[in-house]
Amino acid sequence: MKILILGSGNMGMTYAQGFLKSRIVKADQLSILCRSYEKANLLSQSHEGQFFSDPALCVPESDLLILAVKPQDSDRLFEQIKDFVEPGQVFISIMAGVTLHRIRTALGVEKVIRAMPNLPAQIGAGVTAFTSSDLVTRIELVMVQNLLSTTGKTLYVEEERMIDAATAISGSGPAYVFYFMQAMMEAARKMGFSDSEAELLVGQTFTGAVDLYNKSDLSCANWISRVASKGGTTEAALKVFQDTELHADIIAGAEAAEKRARELGQ
Ligand SMILES: NC(=O)c1ccc[n+]([C@@H]2O[C@H](COP(=O)([O-])OP(=O)(O)OC[C@H]3O[C@@H](n4cnc5c(N)ncnc54)[C@H](OP(=O)(O)O)[C@@H]3O)[C@@H](O)[C@H]2O)c1
């Protein structure tokens, strides 16, 4: 199987490295299309696949093509590659908001998968929601799932609208977590901790709490009740969160992200 990644940015190179590290493909089966000859030349020294800047030299011979440019660059990319695509090729798009319909009509292809990874994919700890057009076979879907799993966990969704929902939850989600961490670090510094002490306390608290959650069958509510004793310090904090409707604000924020994802897809 020959794989071509279109776009050599953060996500494109994350996939290239993930595929090679997991030995799912060898370097001579992996190609990466760059925007410029200079960048292709520079990245060739990394030996993380074969780098091209001319679509005519790499698109026709590929079995599976991963579209990994920014959504605003998608139209230009479609124009550049549409004359070189072949009917049996399978396309995976990770571009936020670019619909299956848009990709199929712009390229005149039928087998398209739309996937939404997230930033922890960079360390193999991501989660990717994906869906597909009707003509992608079961075998092709399993192959794609294996590829996406090289960057973390996967979730297949039947309906394309759930990709917008996943964009709002897991795609944007790391930023929500960083936002909460940032506020807690600020609180720690206000109480007298140095920057590095605040980072240690907050970073390890998040890692430890998430590990604990993942290794147990308890719900978040169960864990909260184990930390918060009646009349204690945690309860005092939770009361403020309740009074300021933080919980509802987080839900409203995620819903705004989902709405924006839908708008971008139109
Ligand atoms: N980053 C995330 O956490 C994340 C999460 C989920 C989904 N995504 C999606 O992943 C996609 C890529 O994001 P990213 O963070 O990897 O962006 P990025 O780092 O900016 O990478 C995009 C790459 O595409 C290249 N490119 C643009 N037009 C091209 C063309 N016509 N031919 C070949 N290469 C071209 C750019 O080249 P230059 O280097 O020359 O500019 C750049 O290297 C986006 O659509 C985004 O929605 C990203």
Give residue 98 CA to ligand 1 midpoint distance, Å: 13
Supply the pLDDT for residue 212.
Answer: 96
Residue 46's pLDDT is 85
Domain with CATH 1.10.3730.10 in the chain: 173-264
Query: Which residues have CB under 6 Å of ligand 1?
Result: 6-12, 33-36, 39, 68-71, 73, 76-77, 80, 94-96, 116-119, 171
Ligand 1 centroid – CA 230 distance (Å): 50
Residue located via tokens 């069958």:
217
- What would the pLDDT profile of 55-69 be if each residue is shown by its tens digit? 999 999 999 999 999
CA-closest candidate to residue 156, choices 180, 117, 133, 130: 130
Torsion angles phi and psi, residue 33, rounded to 5: -95, 120
Closest residue by Cα to atom 48, ligand 1, is 11
Q: How far is the CA of 141 from the centre of ligand 1 (A)?
A: 23
Reply yes or no on domain 3-158 having CATH 3.40.366.10. Answer: no
Residues 149 and 181: their CA atoms lie apart, in Å, by 27
Average pLDDT of span 257-262: 92
Percent of the chain whose pLDDT exceeds 70: 100
For tokens 């294996």, the residue is 146
| Burial of 156: CB neighbours in 10 Å, binned 0-12, 13-18, 19+ | middle
Where helices occur in the chain by DSSP H, the ranges are 10-21, 37-44, 55-58, 74-81, 100-107, 138-148, 161-166, 173-190, 195-214, 220-227, 233-243, 246-264
User: What residue spans in the chain does CATH classification 3.40.50.720 cover?
Assistant: 3-158
Ligand 1, atom 9, residue with closest C-alpha: 95
Per-residue pLDDT band for 265 (boundaries 50, 70, 90) equals confident
What values do phi and psi take at 135, rounded to 5? -85, 0
CA–centroid distance, residue 228 to ligand 1 (Å): 44
End-to-end CA distance of the chain: 34
pLDDT one-digit tens code per residue, 66-116: 999 999 999 999 999 999 999 999 999 999 989 999 999 999 999 999 999
190-234: per-residue pLDDT in tens?
999 999 999 999 999 999 999 999 999 999 999 999 999 999 999
pLDDT of 238 over the 80 cut = yes
Residue nearest ligand 1's atom 37 by CA: 35
- Residue 213 token pair: 């959650």
Q: Using CA positions, which residue lies closest to atom 5 of ligand 1?
A: 118
**How do beta strands 30-33 and 50-52 pair?**
parallel
In angstroms, what CA-CA distances link 30 with 64, 83, 166, 207? Answer: 10, 21, 28, 34
Q: How far, in Å, is the centroid of ligand 1 from the Cα of 85? A: 20
Task: Identify the residue whose C-alpha is closest to ligand 1 atom 39.
Answer: 9
Give the separation between CA 89 and CA 112, rounded to whole angstroms.
9
Cα 69 to middle of ligand 1, angstroms:
3
Q: Which residues of 230-245 are buried (b: 16+ CB within 10 A; e: fewer)?
A: eeeeeeeebeeeeeee
The 3-state DSSP class for residue 22 equals coil
Q: What is the domain class of 173-264 according to CATH? A: mainly alpha
Say if residue 266's pLDDT is above 90: no
